[in-house]
Structure 1
Amino acid sequence: MTATELGQGDLERIQRRTVGVLALGQVLGGIAFGATVSLGALLAADLSGDDALSGLATASVTLGAAAAAIPLARFASRRGRRLSLTAGNLLALVGVGIVITAASIRSFPVLLVGVILIGMGNAGNLQSRFAATDLASAQHRGRDLSIVVWSTTIGGVAGPFLLTPGEVIGQALGMPHLTGSYVFSLIAQALALALYLIALRPDPLLLALRIARDEGRGAVLGASVDRPVAARYAIFAVAGSHAVMASVMAMTPIHLSHMAHGMHGMATTETDVTTLVGLTIGLHVAGMYGLSPVFGILSDRWGRVRVVLLGQALLTASLLTAIFAGENPVGVMAALILLGLGWSAATVAGAALLTESSTTLQRPRRQGISDSLMSLTAAVGAALAGLVLTNFGYGGLGAAALVIVIAITALSPLARVRPAA
């Protein structure tokens, strides 16, 4: 059946199936990347012997994602989402193997190489949310995108909680210290690769591009809408919100570790530290993804810009909590939950705004630019966060991140600029 022969019912059925496949893939992706986020900073500090360098692990993940986002988007334009997503899975699998090797030979530079490759794989994983919008109607674009984002909750929350059992498995297998959880990453990445390769048919982007050539059918998907000013603001809002989240989240395991060893009455064993870190990051990931369908539906009903601003309000609450209650574990947990919620609102609404402000032909390129800038700014933020934490503490890190939130809020009127008649 050709694109022109597809009825509206056929298109809706294909979209439902596509969202289902992408959602399952995100469950697996959440498990795969959960351990990377939680262990990266701890491994970097352990292998480098310097807490100030711990932020380079998260920075390397985001640098890898920044480097691969545009090439993978171009690859998707030519060959479709299916092959682009599986290419990302392959990169991540290789990266996990290198990270385990680096821990075995105690090499910090080799660790960064492996983490960069994992980040490149994450660039493919990020494309899943845009793949959910390729065939979505304007009325349900935010909802469909947010369902795929939400699906990461299951694996993303489970990933950090697998740190302690992962170490038990790692010891049984003779794996290096702090790498046992990567066993779960390897299995999850391999399953996600097989899922996309087999089940993501027809390819949503290639089908959307074919439909876009039909003027009547393309209008249903908003194929000819172009609002470049709004698209640029969406890119900025998503990148800035992600930089705030990544910089604070990257340093939280180190901050918690210092508190665990330095405060009277706190547990000091390695198991207790990893449990505290896993609990906090797990709650943060739950905040990132757990309510994303709510934010997606709100963005469809209230409008994209309002929900982006709601995200900035939540990020502000998070940073103020970090500033004034960041020396208490409960305060840190509250700050990380709010941080995740703010990120969710801003990125779900921002991604929907970017998609609907671009023509179908422009979307993959602009989406790739958005993901690349999002990862690049987060990499810079995470790298600087280690230095800020060392010199100004957790509260100083929150104050620095607050500047970005203010800028996103102040520039929001740009998103309401309409194209010239």
Structure 2
Amino acid sequence: MTSETSTTAPPPAELAADPAVQRHILRVLVTSQILSGAGLAAGITVGALLAQDMLGSTGLAGLPSALFTAGSALTAIVVSRISAARGRRPGLALGYATGAVGSVGVIAAAALDSPVLLFLALFVYGAGTATNLQARYAGADLAAPGHRARAISTVLVATTLGGVLGPNLAAPTGDLAEALHLPRLAGPFLLGGVAYAAAALVLATRLRPDPLLLARAAAAAAPAAETPADTADGTSTARTRNRVLLGAQVMVVTQLVMVGVMTMTPVHMHDAGQGTAAAGFVIALHVAAMYLPSPLTGRLVDRHGPLTVGAAAGLTLLAAGVLAALAPADSLPLLALALVLLGLGWNFGLVSGTAILTDAVPLATRAKTQGSVDVAIAISGATGGLASGAVVDLAGYPVLAFGGGLVALLILPALATAATRARR
């Protein structure tokens, strides 16, 4: 049990070091991530199709992805500021509650056939995406340095269940929407709204003690000799800055490539005559590959280092782009495999980049720095989503996929430089 059940709370250092406390925090985070995964997958599956249906244009089909990733950028700032000032619990709970409000707005826009309301609602809906990513940091707050990647991956893998169930419920929730006299494509957002609201409730009531506040209290109570001085001199400051930029670059590039290719795959399949169920199946496999390998990825990062796993991210995304470009539009197996590789490459990049960032930043500035990096990640996702529709409209899906694979290789020189510095 956690400290709130005791009449006298143990000292912060003792409480922070208690494995039972970390297990409780991870259980709460896992529960919220399972719920939020369903909400996250709803927008991925039908957001582009809903916009295409309302606007009658493929060129703007990437706009929903751009909008809810842009919304996630703003939310990343807000959640990180609240977390820095008051702890992870209020920040994460508010983020998911905002995502639930956005889901309601999307449903209303679909019912009213209002593109303007749809775009505003998708912007608000993006709060859930940012919060889903920010939750991974909470898992690492109390983890030992050699186990941080595994703690991060435990939180990430929990998204898999909801993320896989969400797209596969596109057809049943569409039936429910029609029964409620709503457009069929609004159905997944019914699920998303309920899922995000439930995740907010779980965090608001159960994430006690707050992991970030407890970690800070434990660090403050520790002897001065045990407290790391990351900014004691110019060399340490430069090293910290370089590592933060490296972790950010890995995550930004992998997010850009993943969102760009993923966003237009359902539209590509739809244009080839494949139905919503087929697109939902492919996206479900993609989301599973984004999160399900996380425990293995965490162990690989802890054992072989984040630089090696980051390089694997770039190469895996290249393979995904090449396969997606060469696969026939009506080939469900090949497109599914390409999207699985796309999700796996993103997973390698996110876990390794998060580990680089978390190890580099001291507790005092950790939440704000993490939020700033997540803003950059969200902006890159918005850019990928917005550009993807235009690229497909002008040059076709194969060009988008192959180009994305080449962009992923940009992280390799930076990782090679960092590895050379580490050896020296």
Q: TM-score range by the shorter chain?
A: over 0.9
Task: Tell me the number of residue pairs that the alignment of Structure 1 and Structure 2 aligns.
Answer: 408
Report 1:333-344 matches (<5 A). 333-344=336-347
Report 1:22-61 matches (<5 A). 22-61=29-68
**Counterpart code for 1:302:** H
Match status 1:369 vs 2:334? no
For the 8 Å contact 1:209–1:361, the answer to whether it is kept is yes
CA separation in 2, counterparts of 1:312 and 1:413?
12
For the 8 Å contact 2:262–2:339, the answer to whether it is kept is yes
Match status 1:101 vs 2:103? no
For the 8 Å contact 2:79–2:131, the answer to whether it is kept is yes
1:178 counterpart SS class: helix
For the 8 Å contact 1:25–1:195, the answer to whether it is kept is yes
Aligned to 1:264: none
Aligned to 2:92: 85
Aligned to 1:167: 174
Aligned to 1:392: 395
1:50 counterpart SS class: coil
Aligned to 1:239: 252
**Counterpart code for 1:103:** A
Aligned to 1:275: 277
Give how far 1:414 is off.
Answer: 4.3
Match status 1:139 vs 2:152? no
Give how far 1:393 is off.
Answer: 1.4
Farther-moved stretch of structure 1 (183-192 vs 46-55)? 183-192
CA separation in 2, counterparts of 1:259 and 1:341?
25
- In 2 relative to 1, CA 63–142 (structure 1 residues): closer, same or farther, beyond 3 Å? same
For the 8 Å contact 1:103–1:177, the answer to whether it is kept is no
1:59 counterpart SS class: helix
For the 8 Å contact 1:167–1:181, the answer to whether it is kept is yes
- In 2 relative to 1, CA 255–308 (structure 1 residues): closer, same or farther, beyond 3 Å? same
Aligned partner (choices 346, 360, 366) of residue 349 of structure 2: 346
**Counterpart code for 1:400:** G
CA separation in 1, counterparts of 2:17 and 2:350?
29
Aligned partner (choices 405, 410, 413) of residue 410 of structure 1: 413
Q: Deviations over 1:134-192 (max 9, x none)?
A: 11101110001001100000000000000000111111122223112222222212211
For the 8 Å contact 1:164–1:275, the answer to whether it is kept is yes
- In 2 relative to 1, CA 204–3 (structure 1 residues): closer, same or farther, beyond 3 Å? farther
Give how far 1:6 is off.
Answer: 3.8
**Counterpart code for 2:63:** L
Aligned to 2:197: 190
CA separation in 1, counterparts of 2:218 and 2:10?
6
1:202 counterpart SS class: coil
**Counterpart code for 2:104:** G
1:156 counterpart SS class: helix
Farther-moved stretch of structure 1 (404-413 vs 49-58)? 404-413
**Counterpart code for 2:83:** A
CA separation in 1, counterparts of 2:417 and 2:134?
25
Give how far 1:119 is off.
Answer: 0.5
Question: What root-mean-square deviation, in Å, do the aligned CA atoms of Structure 1 and Structure 2 show?
Answer: 2.1
Give how far 1:217 is off.
Answer: 8.8
Aligned to 1:15: 22
Please report the TM-score for the alignment, with normalisation by the length of structure 1.
0.92
For the 8 Å contact 2:177–2:187, the answer to whether it is kept is yes
- In 2 relative to 1, CA 417–72 (structure 1 residues): closer, same or farther, beyond 3 Å? farther
CA separation in 2, counterparts of 1:102 and 1:234?
38
CA separation in 2, counterparts of 1:191 and 1:217?
41
- In 2 relative to 1, CA 200–218 (structure 1 residues): closer, same or farther, beyond 3 Å? farther
Please report the TM-score for the alignment, with normalisation by the length of structure 2.
0.92
Aligned to 1:209: 216
- In 2 relative to 1, CA 170–359 (structure 1 residues): closer, same or farther, beyond 3 Å? same
Give how far 1:229 is off.
Answer: 0.3
Give how far 1:415 is off.
Answer: 3.5
Q: Deviations over 1:250-306 (max 9, x none)?
A: 00010000111xxxxxx6xxxxx1111111101101111111110011100000111
Aligned partner (choices 296, 299, 323) of residue 297 of structure 1: 299
Aligned partner (choices 284, 287, 290) of residue 288 of structure 1: 290
Aligned partner (choices 155, 159, 172) of residue 148 of structure 1: 155
CA separation in 2, counterparts of 1:76 and 1:359?
15
Which runs of no fewer than 5 residues in structure 2 stay unpaired?
1-7
